[in-house]
Copies of this chain bind each other. A is one copy, B any other.
């Protein structure tokens, strides 16, 4: 029987963000925006959701005088991602 796919990760933008965060130490809002090609509004909303789920941590600081939002994946996020990929494999293996 096919396993359920974590609905928080089964979203193109959120999955993209998680995928990027897995490959870097941390990423700034603008970097994620550029890489994912998302609008700022959409990215902001989806980062909140990932953050509330505890899949990423979001730190707000300042770069000189400009606001700076920095994101990192958490242990919980990594685990959820791995589980998602595992479940997904049942769907996409030929």
Task: Using CB atoms and an 8 Å cutoff, list the residues of chain A in contact with chain B.
Answer: 1-2, 4-5, 7, 10, 12, 15-16, 19, 22-23, 35-37, 84-85, 88, 90-92, 94
Contacts and interface: CB of A to CB of B under 8 A. Distances in A.
Nearest to A23: B94
Nearest to A90: B19
Nearest to A22: B94
A33 to B, nearest CB: 13
A23 to B, nearest CB: 8
Nearest to A85: B92
Given A10-B10, A10-B12, A12-B10, A1 B35 contact: yes
Contacts of A12: 4-5, 7, 10
